[in-house]
Amino acid sequence: MSVISSPAAVGGPMTRPLLARLREALGHFAERLALADAVARERRALAGLDDRLLRDIGVDRATAVEESRRDYWDLPARRRA
């Protein structure tokens, strides 16, 4: 039996777990991408707050600027869980 016509090459038992793992990995990546996008939007919103609103939430301007300049993929640990 050639490799091309073997059960594993045409969707046999060895292929299904690989496809399931790939689907799961792509799902996790999509979730992480959506989270990173949400965090980026929150950081932009934080950067747009005036000093009075920042005081209301207990954040000073320097902290808001520092947070808004973090990299896209730099997600807070509490949000990654």
pLDDT tens track for 14-52: 667 999 999 999 999 999 999 999 999 999 999 999 999
User: Which structure tokens are listed for 40?
Assistant: 């980026």
pTM above the 0.75 mark?
no
- pLDDT band for position 79 (cuts 50, 70, 90): confident
40, burial (CB in 10 Å: exposed 0-12, middle 13-18, buried 19+): middle
Token code pair at residue 49: 């707050």
Q: Which residues contact 52 (CB under 8 A, 6 or more apart)?
A: none
